[in-house]
Structure 1
Amino acid sequence: MSEHFSLVFNLSDCLAVPDAGTLPFPLIDFLRLRLTPADVDRLPELFARGCIGIDNETVSAGFKLSGGETVCVSLPGHQEDDVDTAWRLLWQNSELMAVYKPHLLPVSRTTRNLYNTLISLVRRQTPYYDARLLHRLDSETAGVILLAKHASADRQWKPRLDQLIIEKVYHAWVTGIPLWQSKTLVCELSERADSAIRSQVYVVDGSDRKHFVKPRHSKTAFRVLYSEAGNALIECRLYTGRKHQIRAQLSYLGHPVVGDKIYGHRGYFYLKRIEEGLDATDFRVLGSRYHRLQAVELTLNIDGERVPIALPAQP
């Protein structure tokens, strides 16, 4: 966890669209758009303490930006978990952007991270300070994720997300090598009222439905792509989008995702992490510090045109 936290804004990236304002642009207005409400309230204190600088020189609240500077904001007392912040742009049009999210980078604020999240990074490293998530990936899952560049695009596309995203493909490294080359699993998924892990979902057992909470139909097509050292790389093509769908279904099939703390090892490492934390020995048993699941392809339908956005597979 970082003991000293600073935000850095490269103005050549942040002020590249017309609605950024007419230059020179007031620094305080720029910061109000990009800091949390709590830190906006602290701005007078931050300026007074010399915590806000332009090109390594402290400035006052009246400073105006010309567009080529680097802004640094130091946040005394603020701490965040160190995570991989190397997101990257994969595709964009005037309203949408598809980006790569690394493993372990949360998509939005958590109890530990306010700024080291995907949406915060996009908002402060691009002109799109009001970007919105159109869907989500688990913190440990990497890959392609779609964002709206601004609130009006979010209002336009989020209600039609099922029509916008017409295909989703993931790759998963799993424990063991399946006896099948391809398999389509159609089942109901649900949480259980008696589960030790509240967030875990299960394939519904029709003979014991009373313990399941709101079962939902799910369908995934699996295909073995490659195997080595007792593990296999599986292509997972989603036909529905349920919580933990791929992870729960692969575990049900006897091949949990490598590194999965909930669906591998009967959830032992998830509960241990909560109670006492995990060590290097635990991660060796898990096979990875994170579960090895990655969204590798989205196909969009934009005005009747198929737009595939693919991430090269990285076994």
Structure 2
Amino acid sequence: MQEIKANEMDSGQRIDRLLSEKLDDTSRSDMQGRIRDGLVEVNGEAVKPNYKVKTDDVIIVHPRELVEADISPQNLNLEILYEDDDVAVVNKPKGMVVHPAAGHHSETLVNGLMFQLDDLSGINGELRPGIVHRIDKDTSGLLMVAKNDVAHRALVDQLVDKSVTRKYVALVHGTIPHDKGTIEAPIGRNPKERQEMAVIDSGRDATTHFNVLERYEGYTLIECILETGRTHQIRVHMKYIGYPLVGDPKYGPRKTLNTDGQMLHAGTLGFIHPTSGEYMEFNDSLPEPFEDVLETLTPLSD
């Protein structure tokens, strides 16, 4: 537990920013999470991350209790594209869940990481060691993994600052007439269907850029560049503009190609290395099943 008494120079500052500056080995995003989880008290009461500190406020910051992960390491032969003492980049196959949850206690990406990597960060708690961001079960592609807590915070800060490069390739229904576009539409929980996300006025800001790669009869292959990382963002945004992903059981049409899940691949991932400060970018080609589906389509002539 850490206790801080605010002085006159602290007065007026947001508490999340103040604590991230005053405390070592933390970040603003990490502190926002602690505040939302009730681990920060001001004068004995919980506050929100945007609370403005007052002179003589007594701030108490409680540590997170990290529980040893009760997860069995499994040899899943994960493809590790890069690894050093701080980070790793892994290629998640389609059909694999990222971390254990109800109904998925084994053969997740975390199970495989615990077998193949010596160290993983613990910030995300017992069931998500090392996981900085995630992609859906039926989305394939690249993920960055943190091997210690300092690296984890640095990578999360880059996600918050929108400085991580994340490019996806998707096959959508319909022929998109324009070569590029930007979708800016807030995403939140669908009030009519709690298992789905939707574009709603009260949602969180979400921005997706896209470029057309190839047009086929009835379909379009696109590259999507994420500026934000909301749950199901690409799937929801493409449905919103009338071009849902092929094979998407949640947001796509029932009549679709036989693909065993949405046609979406996280093919490019770039970030600044937490220790060296060097920008690193990784690329992965489309999985063979994705390519096989494209081979069945008829390209449109220009």
| TM category, shorter | 0.5 to 0.7
Are 1:293 and 2:264 an aligned pair? yes
- Structure 2 distance, partners of 1:285, 1:184, is 25
2: distance between equivalents of 1:222 and 1:164? 16
Matched with 1:143 is 141
Equivalences for 1:233-252 in 2 at 5 Å?
233-252=221-240
Query: Contact 2:162 / 2:227 at 8 angstroms: preserved in 1?
Result: no
Q: Which residue of 1 aligns with 2:284?
A: 311
Asked whether the equivalents of residues 165 and 269 of structure 2 are also in contact (C-alpha less than 8 Å), the reply is: yes
- C-alpha displacement at 1:160, in angstroms? 4.8
Of 172, 187, 190, the match for 2:188:
190
Deviation at 1:95, TM superposition (A): 0.4
Summarize the alignment of residues 256-271 of structure 1 with structure 2, pairs less than 5 Å apart.
256-265=244-253
Q: Does structure 1 retain, via aligned residues, the 8 Å contact 2:175–2:217?
A: no
Query: Deviations for 1:209-244, whole angstroms, at most 9, x for unmatched residues?
Result: 5xxxx3222211111101334222110011111221
> CA 1:285–1:164 in structure 2 vs 1: closer, same or farther (change >3 Å)?
closer
Q: Greater share of helix residues, 1 or 2?
A: 1
Gaps of 5+ in 2: 1-67, 122-128, 292-302
Alignment of 1:48-63 (within 5 A): none
State the Cα deviation string for residues 262-294 of structure 1 (Å, max 9, x = none): 1112xxx6xxxxxxxxxxxxxx74531111111
Matched AA of 2:262 = H
- Alpha-carbon distance between aligned partners in 2 of 1:85 and 1:97, rounded to the nearest angstrom: 16
1:143 shift after superposition: 0.4
2:225 partner SS: strand
- Give 3-state SS (helix, strand or coil) of 2:204's partner: strand
The answer for the alignment partner of 1:57 in structure 2 is: none
1:153 & 1:182 partners in 2: Cα distance? Answer: 35
Other structure's SS at 1:216 match: coil
| Structure 1, unpaired ranges of 5+ | 1-33, 40-71, 74-83, 270-283
Distance 2:164 2:111 in 1: 27
Give the CA deviation at 1:129: 6.3
How much does 1:86 deviate?
4.9
Q: Which amino acid letter does the alignment assign opposite residue 149 of structure 1? A: K
Segment of structure 1 superposing worse, 288-297 or 155-164: 155-164
Instruction: Name the structure 2 match of 1:274.
Output: none
1:221 equivalent in structure 2: 209
CA contact (8 A) 2:268 2:281 kept: yes
Q: Hey, what does 1:87 align to over in structure 2?
A: 78
Aligned partner of 1:224: which letter? V
Amino acid at match of 1:308: E
- TM-score, with normalisation over the residues of structure 2? 0.62
* 1:203 paired to 2:194: no
Shift of 1:156: 5.1
Number of residues of Structure 1 aligned to a counterpart in Structure 2: 213
Partner of 1:170: 168
Query: What letter matches 1:248 in structure 2?
Result: V
Q: Provide the C-alpha distance between the structure 2 equivalents of 1:109 and 1:188, rounded to a whole number of angstroms.
A: 28
Structure 1: distance between partners of 2:140 and 2:82: 16
Greater share of strand: 1
Q: For residues 69-104 of structure 1, give each alpha carbon's deviation from its aligned partner in whole angstroms, at most 9, with x where no partner exists.
A: xxx99xxxxxxxxxx945301122320001000111
Cα displacement (A) at 1:35:
7.9
- CA change 1:288–1:220 in 2 (3 A) is same
Alignment-mate amino acid for residue 287 of structure 1: N
For the 8 Å contact 1:175–1:231, the answer to whether it is kept is yes
Let me know the Cα RMSD of the aligned residues.
2.9
Q: In the alignment, is the contact (CA less than 8 A) between 2:99 and 2:109 conserved in 1? A: yes
Q: Is the 8 A contact 1:163 1:301 kept in 2?
A: no
Q: Distance in 2 between matches of 1:287 and 1:153?
A: 40
Contact 2:167–2:226 (8 Å) recurs in 1: yes
Deviation readout 1:174-212 (Å, 9 max, x if unpaired): 11221111111122222232x1x31322223xxxx5xxx
**Cα 1:192–1:256, aligned 2, differ >3 Å: closer, same or farther?**
same
How many Å apart are 1:163 and its aligned residue?
4.7
